Amino acid sequence: MSYDLILKGGRVLDPAQGLDGVADVAFAGGKVAAIEPRIAAANGADVRDVSGRIVTPGFIDLHTHVYWGGTSLGVDATDFARRSGVTTLIDAGSAGPGNFKGFLKHVIEPSEPRILAYIHVSFAGIYAFSKRIMVGESSDMRLMSPADAVEVANANRDTIVGIKVRVGRNASGTSGIAPLDIALQVAEEVSMPLMVHIDEPPPNYEDVLARLRPGDTLTHCFRPFPNSPITGQGAIKTAVLEARKRGVLFDVGHGMGSFSFKVARAMLDAGFMPDTISSDVHSLNLEGPVFDQATTLSKFLCLGTSLTDVIRATTANAAAAIRRPELGTLRPGSAGDATIFTVGDGSFPYTDSTGERMNGNKRILIEGMALGGHWWHPAGNL
């Protein structure tokens, strides 16, 4: 068989298949074609020696903001993907039904890395988010646009993977939890999962979780007090454990103010691993404390999470959350995306959203990427 790209001699780590060992990975026609101990190069295939490196399914970042130029919080998707090793970026509600067409035409369609999106139930999405102006879009109920959200979601099912809403003192103000109830109606109507942002109360963590359905995602799940998933004594709240039992998904969504080392340690020590690890990158945290998805994943390695579990949280589990089984795996026939990296040992400074600093001993270093079955790398040195 002829191949377009062969990655030779890397440690193939694919939690979806239970794979962890040295092998070659071949791509053809934009998809994964084969994983075998040795694959012979033929017919002009692009052969890359990745020995000494780790090859995984392409990273998926479940929570990004990449409507660059269309919203004040958007970052450039291509630049972020290159530095992060991310082949699929999920935009978490930057656009609403009133401006999704612009997002689709000017950002999603021209992008080399894949961009999928949760559409916001707010007509204008997240429209006033900057260093000088911060207006919670859910605080004005006049902006809630369920009928339009349903219409746009149904018309763009190839790109839209779910519904997004933000609630909390900063995002919904005096509207409280009402925007979440509206978003749930939209999600039910279009048979899509919901992602809900939570910040400071009201509403509280427990009230939000009580409304979520199996398959819905709570992002910012390891946020600090107030509205933390742990009690003042460091125990996991009962509502959190009950929500997980019924199938609610928990996403990190690091962001500018939503990830705490203290909370993460308590949750992980109690055996509570987030389902997905995401960056929540936007214009106000790109230069810290988030930087990129690789940095976010590295923080979990330094907190004691195994490499397999970290990779599962940015590949197979992220694909399951958005119901895209063709992503997040190197199974033959799946999307031809891969991330190639090493894990550096040393002394690396990390900061959470509260300003706490941690000196970590590991860092994921991106070495290369395959996109759509072809090599894609910023330096091109492999």
Q: Which residues contact 129 (CB under 8 A, 6 or more apart)?
A: 71, 72, 73, 135, 282, 284
Pairing of strands 54-57, 5-14: parallel
DSSP string, 185-208: HHHHHHT--EEEEE-SSSSPHHHH
3-state secondary structure at position 5 = strand
- Whether residue 120 is annotated as binding a ligand: the answer is no
- Whether residue 63 is annotated as binding a ligand: the answer is yes
The C-alpha angle with vertex 338 and arms to 334 and 339, in degrees rounded to 5, equals 155
- Whether residue 280 is annotated as binding a ligand: the answer is yes
Q: CA-to-CA distance for 90 and 119, rounded, in angstroms? A: 10
- Whether residue 106 is annotated as binding a ligand: the answer is no
Q: Which residues contact 77 (CB under 8 A, 6 or more apart)?
A: 64, 66, 68, 89, 107, 111, 113, 115
Q: CA-to-CA distance for 321 and 318, rounded, in angstroms? A: 5
- Whether residue 65 is annotated as binding a ligand: the answer is yes
3-state secondary structure at position 211 = helix
- Annotated binding-site residues for Zn(2+) read 63, 65, 164, 197, 220, 280
Q: Which residues are annotated as a binding site?
A: 63, 65, 164, 197, 220, 280
